[in-house]
Amino acid sequence: MPHADPAQPATLDHAVSLHIVTPLLRSTSYSARLGRSVWFKMEALQPPGSFKARGIGHACRIYKARGATHFVSSSGGNAGIAVAYGGRLLGVPVTVVVPETTSAAARERIAAEGAELVVHGRAWSEANEHALSLMKPDYAFIHPFDDPLLWEGHATMIDEVAAAGVKPGAVVLSVGGGGLLCGVLAGMERNGWHDVPVIAAETVGADSYAASLAAGAPVALPAITSIATSLGAKSPCTEAVAWSARHPIASEVVTDKQAVGACLRFLAEHRIVVEPACGAALAALEREPAAVMAASDVLVIVCGGAGATAEQLQAWDREACMI
């Protein structure tokens, strides 16, 4: 996967986007297995490795235009990489605070982009509190999921799908804090996809959105126990829960083993490594939820993730087999 070279000058033409238009692929293997057209929006191919490039890139641009001299972010991995990438290209210094559970691969990517990396706390919430304590008046805080600017940027992936002439009968995506969900739903609404249901996938132990939907309000988990640490927000943003009153959303919760197995299958069939947080959506698709089976075309957001390697996926799979 291509990634930025920190040795290159941190300059960027203001007309150039921080994200790329990603491929929309019809998967022959998945389509044959499920008996319907399965379309993958390949956000794993964004330069920083995940969909975060869209919303975070948009937010970084706006905050710099407003006078920010430094970006501070908290992250389980992917958001931090995207902020570090955006800051380098925009010429703005970046500090990223990650919890101890963030993978070595993600930490290395953040540091490689030239950002200051701080490790603090066992969970994202603790890292987030520390990141907020570092703020100064001329700094901008780049939240990993709860910011309307992020949702505006993420919505562009649906604009691209619509421009390609595809309107699916269902959309499958992973949910952590809810930033991707809010962005995708905003894009669906503005493209007239009001009737298209969304399947929101999570892993056991990081399923705060499922708990929140059941309660009708944001619910906080006592702890994140899933290996899918990129889904590791103990509570989703309020807007993500509010969307459930305006749009059809169904929850699917899969096990870590199912998520890792889906990642390995995706690697074997499409030759791209994604992390378990993304694997949750792939595993939810394989469970053939009712909304998927009622659709002739299904869109899956392959959100990506730089927090895993093929070796790590294989190790997680072996560990899961021993449980």
Buried b (16+ CB within 10 A) or exposed e, 1-31: eeebeeeeeeeeeeeeebbeebebeebeebe
Q: How confident is the model at residue 8 (pLDDT cuts 50, 70, 90)?
A: very low
261/319 Cα distance (integer angstroms): 12
Structure tokens at 13: 């033409």
On whether both 196 and 100 belong to a single domain, the answer is: no
Residue 5 — very low, low, confident or very high, per pLDDT cuts 50/70/90?
very low
Mark whether 62 and 168 lie in a shared domain: no
Question: Is 109 in the same domain as 198?
Answer: no
176 and 302 both lie in a single domain = yes
C-alpha 147, offset from chain centre: 14
Q: What is the pLDDT of residue 323?
A: 54
User: Which of 92, 122, 145 is the last residue in one of the domains?
Assistant: 145
What is the count of structural domains for the chain? 2
Does a structural domain hold residue 153?
yes
Quick one: 317 and 217 in the same domain? Answer: yes
Which CATH number belongs to the domain containing residue 108 in this structure? Answer: 3.40.50.1100
Residue 10 belongs to a domain: no
Q: Which domain holds residue 238?
A: 24-51+149-322
Contacts of residue 167, defined as CB under 8 A and 6 or more positions apart, other chains included, come to: 191, 193, 196, 297
- The helix/strand/coil state of 135 is coil
CA–CA distance, 229 with 102 (Å, rounded to integer): 7
- Same domain, yes or no: 181 and 287: yes
Same domain for 194 and 302, yes or no, is yes
What is the average pLDDT value for the chain, to the nearest integer? 92
Half-sphere exposure of 296 (CA within 13 A, CB side): 2
